Copies of this chain bind each other. A is one copy, B any other.
């Protein structure tokens, strides 16, 4: 399947989210959750899940779309909380005011809390058999919780004013960014009833590649193309791939990860479909 076709299914991700929002018992909370979720962004995580599922099965089904929705809700909550004044203190996100600037801090904290919690409602209601569903709940929660994304954000903040070794930097990236990419690939493989070891490996390479790309864009992109504050890493003296290896060195590292990702994908499927196109999209930083 072509990435263009996979992308047409993103509207269903928004539809499942909006359907869940019908139950929200506070108008302001609903408004704030929808503000951030519907701002869009690249939707790279749900796209990756759906693309790999399509490449492995030849189709896109509701069960995959539902898991992709839960994953994007978790990602959106993490952006809202990361942007808070007490955290990265970012005023812009996805080309618009960040949630706490548009609303206020309390609302942003609660909108994040609710997106995180409701992701598990969406997942629990998905049309997947109970045993696999429980496995996905456990994996998504492990991915996002104190052994994954939240730990990565905590260590990222603690590392801001010190010089991190490459090893420390990679550990943070693996938890903060990599784990959600791994979940996207693993969930696709599990839903498609395929071995998930290679899928995990694919997710790991793509997670690192995506993070290096992010570090590169922070110094090369414009606010208009990125939709968020640029040059922030340098301003906060944050350890990044660019700071560790220089711009050209970081581009080289990106190339290596992309190569590994392509080789891993080739072992998973002969299809040069949507997942391949996503890899090529991450590859382009100019």
Contacts and interface: CB of A to CB of B under 8 A. Distances in A.
Interface of A: 21, 23-26, 28-30, 33, 77, 81, 84, 86-87, 104-107, 109-110, 112-114, 116-121, 123-125, 130-131, 133-135, 137-138, 140-142, 144-148, 150-155, 157-158, 171, 175
Contact of A154 (B26, B117, B135, B152): B26
A138 B130 CA distance: 12
Contacts of A87: 106, 109
Nearest to A88: B106
Identify whether the interface residues of A are mostly helix, strand, loop, or mixed.
helix
Contact of A23 (B86, B107, B147): B147
A34 to B, nearest CB: 11
A135 B131 CA distance: 12
A247 B209 CA distance: 62
A199 to B, nearest CB: 20
Contacts of A171: 25
Contact of A141 (B120, B152, B157): B120
In this complex, which of A21, A105, A121 has the most chain B Cβ atoms within 10 angstroms of its Cβ? A121
Contacts of A77: 113
A226 B188 CA distance: 49
A146 B114 contact: yes
Contacts of A137: 120, 123-124, 134, 137
B138 A124 contact: yes
Contact of A121 (B116, B118, B138): B138
Given A23-B146, A125-B138, A134-B124, A29 B86 contact: no
